Amino acid sequence: MQTCKYLSVDELEVTGEEDVAEAALRWLNACPCTADRQSDIVTVLASIRLEYLDAGFVLHRILNDRVTARIAACRLYSPP
């Protein structure tokens, strides 16, 4: 998938991995109900280098996003 290819580039010029995560979430939220986007959610999220993100960002921004909140794997890690 082209989106994941761009998000995974080591030479991507961003100020931090938060920028990559925000871009991925914007792309997923642009048309969240289309079959293509729903099937690509896990693949797109896997493009984000979570080890470079603050735990608070992951919990509050990624896991609470309206698209990712529907994914069972994300709900496992979401705070109650």
Q: Between 40 and 79, name the one with better pLDDT.
A: 40
In sequence order, what are the residues at sequence separation of 6 or more whose Cβ sits closer than 8 angstroms to the Cβ of residue 10? none
Q: Is 80's pLDDT higher than 60?
A: no
pLDDT digits (tens, 9 = 90+) for 41-68: 888 888 899 899 999 999 889 888 888 8
Q: Is 2's pLDDT higher than 90?
A: no
- Show the tokens assigned to 36: 């293509």
pTM for the predicted model, two decimal places: 0.77
